[in-house]
Structure 1
């Protein structure tokens, strides 16, 4: 896995609505592998904050997710790009 792919996996893991199954589908990494990647690449405190936040979070696991959650991300999460910023 190259640095760009690792960066994207870390970004997806931080996103509350992106389930681990989406990471596995796109990058072939199971939840345990994502945890190892996060532990390796984050500072200890950042890793612990992340683990606390995602542990048991229903939106991070498709089987626990409510059917009302239709997207893998929150629309407010991404900033709109303007022609100037491209």
Structure 2
């Protein structure tokens, strides 16, 4: 599977050019404990540092710091540290 064609070009675009729904979705995915950064990169073309910059730009400082503190030690936010048995982006009982 490859990323949706309407989102591939956005990684290099200024945040102001992004639809609000996409920014909200990236923030939501970043907050989710089980969504790895690789899934965000696959879907939106953003590397971990780009996600961090987006979170810093669109969140309150205290919320950003709380998120960074949570994510810093999480193994499941990083695909390489997760284990090979997880190879999907959604729960099996979720509708595609």
> After TM superposition, is the score higher than 0.5?
yes
Following TM superposition, the consecutive aligned residue runs of length 4 or more in structure 1 with deviations greater than 2 angstroms are 66-75
Is 1:61 the counterpart of 2:78? The answer is yes
Q: With structure 2 as the length reference, what TM-score do the two structures score?
A: 0.70
TM-align CA RMSD: 1.7
State how far apart, in whole Å, the 1-side matches of 2:91 and 2:66 are. Answer: 20
Q: Please show how residues 6-85 of structure 1 align to structure 2 within 5 Å.
A: 6-69=23-86, 72=89
Structure 1: gaps spanning 5 or more residues: 76-86
1:5 match: 22
Task: Give per-residue Cα distances to partners, 1:11-59, cap 9 Å, x unaligned.
Answer: 0000000000000000011100000000011111100000000013110
The count of corresponding residues between Structure 1 and Structure 2 is 75
User: How much has 1:2 moved relative to structure 2?
Assistant: 1.1
Gaps of 5+ in 2: 1-17
